[in-house]
Amino acid sequence: MGSMRADAARNLELVLTTGARLLARDPATSIAAIAAEAGVDRRTVYRRFASRDELLSAVYEARLDAIEEAISAARLREEPADVALHTYVEGIIAVNRKWPVELTRMKAEPAIRERRNRAIVEVDAFLDRAADAGLLRPGQPTGWPGIVLGQLLHLAAQDLPELAASQAADVLVDTFLQGFGDRAPGLRDQTYQ
Give yes or no for a contact between 110 and 57, defined as CB atoms under 8 angstroms apart.
no
Give yes or no for a contact between 84 and 126, defined as CB atoms under 8 angstroms apart.
yes
Give yes or no for a contact between 103 and 122, defined as CB atoms under 8 angstroms apart.
no
Residue partners of 48: CB distance under 8 A and separation at least 6? 12, 15
**pLDDT at residue number 193:** 35
* Residue 14, number of CB atoms within 10 A of its CB: 16
Domain-located, residue 191: no
Give yes or no for a contact between 16 and 27, defined as CB atoms under 8 angstroms apart.
no
Same structural domain, 145 and 171? yes
CATH code: domain of residue 112:
1.10.357
Same structural domain, 9 and 26? yes
* Residue 13, number of CB atoms within 10 A of its CB: 15
Give yes or no for a contact between 74 and 84, defined as CB atoms under 8 angstroms apart.
yes
Give yes or no for a contact between 75 and 84, defined as CB atoms under 8 angstroms apart.
yes
**pLDDT at residue number 27:** 83
Same structural domain, 46 and 60? no
- Using DSSP's 3-state secondary structure scheme, residue 136 falls into strand
Same structural domain, 23 and 63? no
Host domain of residue 23: 1-50
**pLDDT at residue number 3:** 57
CATH code: domain of residue 9:
1.10.10
Q: For residue 136, what are the β-bridge partners?
A: 181
CA distances from 51 to 30, 40, 63, 115, 168 (A): 9, 16, 19, 23, 36
Mean pLDDT by groups of 10 residues along the chain of 193 residues: 70 92 88 93 89 88 94 97 97 94 71 89 95 90 92 91 93 92 52 34
Give yes or no for a contact between 81 and 133, defined as CB atoms under 8 angstroms apart.
yes
- Is the pTM for the entire model greater than 0.95? no
Same structural domain, 99 and 166? yes
* Residue 27, number of CB atoms within 10 A of its CB: 12
- Using DSSP's 3-state secondary structure scheme, residue 51 falls into coil
**pLDDT at residue number 186:** 47
